[in-house]
Structure formats: structure tokens, C-alpha cells
Amino acid sequence: MPPRPLTVLVIDENAVRAAIIEAGLREAGYASVTLVRDVNGIAQRIAEIEPDVIVIDLENPNRDMLENMFSLSRAVKRPIAMFVDHSDASAIEAAVEAGVSAYVVDGLRQERVKPIVDMAVSRFNAYSRMARELEEAKSELENRKLVDRAKGILMRSRGLSEDEAYTLLRRTAMNQNRKISEIAQSLILAAGLLKE
């Protein structure tokens, strides 16, 4: 089954510039393109449309407009390609921190739209994968700390070796059809209650 086509939302107050972006997207094979010209209530429109990719074009952005768009990009968790006519180092840095996947200064041309959108999607996917892996690694580290603390409690209270304590945790988890970290968490909480 072929992947479903991406839906693209174009946010642009300038009709001529929006037409350039839309033409570039349609030429690239994006059939589902929605244009929004009024940025007021844009978060609600994004929730209604649920686009896969957002393209924002800001002809002459001021600081407030940029900050509003950066706040939006932090909130929507989707690939965002942003075209601006001019920028400075602080705006570029803010765009990166906000999670804008592609920030293009003075580069709005029809033939550039597809590769820039493709890059935004790729970069967003790579970033999302890294963020997910980091979260999993943090969770794994926290789980290990819990298991180590629980082993320590068992070693002190029952006079077990480290291997015996781990075996007891693992066996209990299997018997209760739960994760070892959940059993460890319960043991730590119970031990804390017994101290009080």
C-alpha cells in the first residue's frame, strides 16, 4: 500500500507569494494544499486541518510576528518550513530553538519549494527520532536507578547478594506480569512507608 499523500498547510498573508509556494508544491506532487492568509486564530485552523507539514512565509516579519510563529512551531510538533525575506542571527537561533525544520532567508522560488519541504520533513523526522531515543534512554536510566535502589533495600533487609536481590525482583515481576522497574518502584515506596 503506497504511503498516503502529505497534507500541506501554507500560511502566507501575501497572495502572490502564497501562489508561488502553492505552485511549487502542486508541481512537486502535493495535491492536498491548504492556503491560510490570516494568521489570527491559526492554532485553531491547524487543529482543524491537521496538516502533515506547515509552510510559513513571512515577507517582512517583525519580532512579534516571528515570536508568534516560533511559539506556534513549538506547539504543533510538525515539520515546519519557514521562508523569510531577511533575518538576523538571533532570529535564526530562535527558529532553531523553536524546532523550525527549515528556515530559508531570501530564497522563495517555486523550484526550491519541494526540496526545502522535503528537507524540513526529513530533518523533523530525524529530530523526532533522536528525541524519542533520548527519552527512552532517560527512562531506561531511571528504571536502572530504581532497580539498583530496590536491590539495595533487599540486600540490607534480607541479607541477599546483589544477584539474589535481582533474581527476586525479576521473579516477582514475572509472577505479577509487571515490569521489574514497577516492582522496584513499589518496593521503594513500601520501604519508605515502613521507615515513617
The residue extents of the domains of the chain are 7-108, 135-195
Chosen CATH of 7-108 out of 3.40.50.620, 3.90.226.10, 3.40.50.2300, 1.10.3720.10: 3.40.50.2300
Domain 135-195 has CATH 2.60.40.10: no
Does the pLDDT value for residue 2 go beyond 60? no
CA 171, 173, 154: angle at the middle one, nearest 5? 70
Confidence of residue 164 (pLDDT cuts 50, 70, 90): very high
Reading across the β-sheet that carries 102-105, which strands appear in turn?
32-36, 7-12, 53-58, 80-84, 102-105
Q: Which residues contact 122 (CB under 8 A, 6 or more apart)?
A: none
pTM: 0.64
pLDDT in tens, 18-76: 888 888 888 888 888 888 887 777 778 888 888 888 888 877 766 677 777 777 777 77
pLDDT in tens, 95-148: 777 777 887 777 677 777 888 888 888 888 888 898 899 999 999 999 999 999
- pLDDT for position 4: 63
Contact 24, 114 (CB under 8 A): yes
Confidence of residue 3 (pLDDT cuts 50, 70, 90): low
- pLDDT for position 196: 62
More confident residue, 117 or 180: 180
